[in-house]
Amino acid sequence: MSNIKKKLNSYIDEKNQIVCITCYDASFSKILDDLSIDIVLVGDSLGMVIKGETNTHNVTIEDILYHTSCVAKNKNNFILMADLPINSYKDPEIAYTNSKKLLDKKADIVKIEYKDNHAEIVKTLISKNIPVCAHIGLLPQYALSIQDIRIYGKDRDERDKLLQQAHSLEKLGANMILLECVNSELSKDITNSVKIPVIGIGSGEFCNGQVQVLYDLIGVSNNPPKFSKDFLKENGSIKKALKDFYNYVKSIKN
């Protein structure tokens, strides 16, 4: 078993909630490393919070490579996860080439927004020893209108589809699943029915961990989602705010 797989699975075995926060630069990466944050994600949310755009649609692999190399400068303990932005995984070969570039910048695992037609891509990456986190539920790269920004899995068809995707991903060998804006009862069922870690954002507390956008946690985002909470408001210090978020996630009991 690869080290990353062992490390990720140990969170489930030890009932240790995973704390994942996005990051885009070396200064914050030092803070997150010092705070023992488990996973640091170089997310394509940088399209909004760094580039000032309204969505993630223009983020390029070069953007993610650059920010991954900045974040990696202060990586000592955390798992470094890097997003595959839209257009960077058009087919298995392109996905592999770009994932390899991210691993060369010290990413430990890549994240892909998963649709059923991406199964071959996930299979290829896993077969070539690239650890994969599959992101399901709300997929910002494919969200074209405001109607796509909603909670997923409330009706039976969507619920069955998401459950089935989670099971297929486990079979394909994915190392982790990320649920975005998934109904919390469904998140619970998914988490309880797969053996790989499931982390959630806007998906309730029944996952194996929580992920948040750094700038939402410290009230710097212009348009934070409803489910995010500004932890800085009550703490007065960025480090204390992030530690408070860490303590909150670690205290979740499922």
We find the least distance from the C-beta atom of residue 209 to ligand KIV, in angstroms, to be 12
Provide the 10 A C-beta neighbour count for residue 83. Answer: 29
Residue 199 and residue 74: Cα distance in Å, rounded? 24
197 binds ligand KIV (CB under 6 A): no
We find the least distance from the C-beta atom of residue 1 to ligand KIV, in angstroms, to be 26
125 binds ligand KIV (CB under 6 A): no
Residue 39's alpha-carbon distances to 142, 151, 163, 211, in angstroms, are: 24, 24, 24, 9
We find the least distance from the C-beta atom of residue 73 to ligand KIV, in angstroms, to be 20
Residue 44 and residue 89: Cα distance in Å, rounded? 14
Taking the least distance from each CB to ligand KIV, the nearer of 149 and 167 is: 149
**Short-list 21, 37, 124, CA closest to 76:** 37
213 binds ligand KIV (CB under 6 A): yes
217 binds ligand KIV (CB under 6 A): no
Q: Which residues are catalytic?
A: 180
Taking the least distance from each CB to ligand KIV, the nearer of 45 and 68 is: 45
99 binds ligand KIV (CB under 6 A): no
Strands 209-212 and 18-22, bridge-based pairing: parallel
| CB-based closest residue to ligand KIV | 43
Q: Is 135 helix (H, G, I), strand (E, B) or coil?
A: strand
Kindly state the tokens that stand for 58.
């223009």
Residues 3-42 that bind ligand KIV (CB under 6 A): 22, 41
Kindly state the tokens that stand for 222.
């212009």
Show the site string, 35-74: x = touches ligand KIV by CB under 6 A, - = not. ------x-xxx-----------------------------
- Residue whose pair of structure tokens reads 């619970």 in the numeric block: 188
We find the least distance from the C-beta atom of residue 236 to ligand KIV, in angstroms, to be 25
Residue 149 and residue 133: Cα distance in Å, rounded? 21
Site for ligand KIV, rule CB under 6 A: 22, 41, 43-45, 83, 178, 180, 201, 211, 213
